[in-house]
């Protein structure tokens, strides 16, 4: 790790704009910055001071973003080579307390951005490989140090680190290097989640290759699958399908508009030697659901983020309403719907409102059995509620 002490540039916050920072929120918006000592550059680490010159925090700068500074430390004088290992160690110790990795699960999230005081950084672990995604220039500049730290720790036994930041940094002025291994190379090994085996393609797959955040919700699905006919829409790698079949579902249909996703689902079903009937369906989810007979006992609605930002929120809410309305209308009486939103711009009250509106329009009685969210290895700072991006409901339809 680098040990030189930088001459930190300082950013002064306008009077009256420092309250959220003092409360612990990790973002400084561009409109809150009154001035800086000198010209700031993309990814530069800054000390944040109030209008009177009192120290508030340390973070890194994003020149063209509305979130201008992302805070990762509140101890003055600390430098990146001190902050980074401390925060990484804290994240690692927390996962060890959670029981990761273990003989049944070697797929988990090690770093979850603001929830682990490393905003802009995602680290997902797949066996002996860590896949990192940097969403800001400040953390991207430390990618080699991150990789070196990860492989030095005995607790998680990481042997390879793959950097997948090329696409996530496109909105910045940084020109990232092509995705690739920072340490090691591809390791052939089984990837396990609650004892189920999955093929993970972090090179070509979405995000880091697998939606780890649905682990506990997939496990919950098993309670509603035995002997049932299940429809898994937006199936991607088929996680919900594998769990349903393992729980004794009579028949599972995996639906996606992507041929690659359906091929991945089929391979994962085969890997788990799942019994029961399984079929892939290539189709648009809403259009398919509108045409089905009322014979599905369980339907999973796990679409991609409909709203990437606040400007898209209204259209996203309408899309959630249409999707849920179609499923509520067509599911078998007494059926169960697992419905989700992973749009950060849509909070859980808005999402529930869209599902409620859909329920009203169908005229059917709907009961909420479970309220779902992301698992503990995707922690949410209580001072940063925006980090709670995954929302879900388990509905029973009379």
HSE-up of residue 79 (Cα within 13 Å, Cβ side): 9
Q: Cβ neighbours of residue 52 under 8 Å, at least 6 residues apart?
A: none
Confidence (pTM): 0.94
Q: What is the block-wise mean pLDDT of the chain (398 residues), using blocks of 10 residues?
A: 61 96 96 91 94 96 89 93 95 97 98 97 98 95 97 94 93 86 96 97 94 98 97 97 96 96 96 88 95 94 86 90 97 98 93 98 98 98 94 98
- Supply the DSSP symbol for 86: H
Cβ proximity of 175 and 81 under 8 Å? no
Closest CA to 56 of 39, 32, 80, 86: 32
- Cα-only R_g, the chain: 22
Question: How is residue 5 written in tokens?
Answer: 């002490």
pLDDT at residue 307, as a whole number: 72
Which domains occur in the chain, in start order? 9-73 (2.30.130.10), 80-191 (3.30.750.80), 211-397 (3.40.50.150)
pLDDT at residue 7, as a whole number: 62
Say how far apart CA 248 and CA 242 lie, in whole Å: 10
pLDDT at residue 1, as a whole number: 43
């Amino acid at each position: 790790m680098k040990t030189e002490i930088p001459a930190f540039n300082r950013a002064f916050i306008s009077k009256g704009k420092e309250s959220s920072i003092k409360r612990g929120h990790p973002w400084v918006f561009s409109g809150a910055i009154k001035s800086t000592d000198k010209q700031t550059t993309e990814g530069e680490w800054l000390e944040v001071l109030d209008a009177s010159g009192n120290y508030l925090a340390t973070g890194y700068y994003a020149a063209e973003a509305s979130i201008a500074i992302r805070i990762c430390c509140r101890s003055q004088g600390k430098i990146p080579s001190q902050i980074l290992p401390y925060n990484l160690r804290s994240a690692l110790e927390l996962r060890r307390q959670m029981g990761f990795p273990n003989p049944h699960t070697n797929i988990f999230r090690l770093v979850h951005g603001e929830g682990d005081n490393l905003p802009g950084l995602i680290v997902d672990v797949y066996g002996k490989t860590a896949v990192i995604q940097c969403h800001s220039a400040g953390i991207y500049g430390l990618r080699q140090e991150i990789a070196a730290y990860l492989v030095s720790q005995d607790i998680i036994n990481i042997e390879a680190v793959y950097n997948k930041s090329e696409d996530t940094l496109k909105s910045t002025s940084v020109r990232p290097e092509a995705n690739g291994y920072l340490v090691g190379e591809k390791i052939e090994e089984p990837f396990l989640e609650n004892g189920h085996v999955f093929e993970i393609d972090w090179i070509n797959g979405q995000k880091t290759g697998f939606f780890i955040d649905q682990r506990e919700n997939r496990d919950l699905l098993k309670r509603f699958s035995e002997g049932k006919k299940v429809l898994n829409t937006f199936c991607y790698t088929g996680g919900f399908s594998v769990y349903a079949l393992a729980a004794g579902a009579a028949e599972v249909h995996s639906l996606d508009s992507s041929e690659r996703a359906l091929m991945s689902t089929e391979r994962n079903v085969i890997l788990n030697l799942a019994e029961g009937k399984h079929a892939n369906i290539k189709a648009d989810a809403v259009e398919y659901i509108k045409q089905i007979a009322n014979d599905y006992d369980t339907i999973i609605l796990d679409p991609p983020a409909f709203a990437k930002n606040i400007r898209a929120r209204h259209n996203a809410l309408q899309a959630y309403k249409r999707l849920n309305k179609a499923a509520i209308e067509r599911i078998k009486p007494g059926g169960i719907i697992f419905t989700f939103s992973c749009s950060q711009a849509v909070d859980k009250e808005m999402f529930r409102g869209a599902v409620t509106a859909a329920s009203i329009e169908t005229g059917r009685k709907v009961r909420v059995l479970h309220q779902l969210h992301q698992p503990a290895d995707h922690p949410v700072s209580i001072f940063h509620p925006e980090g709670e991006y995954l929302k879900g409901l388990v509905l029973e339809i009379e």
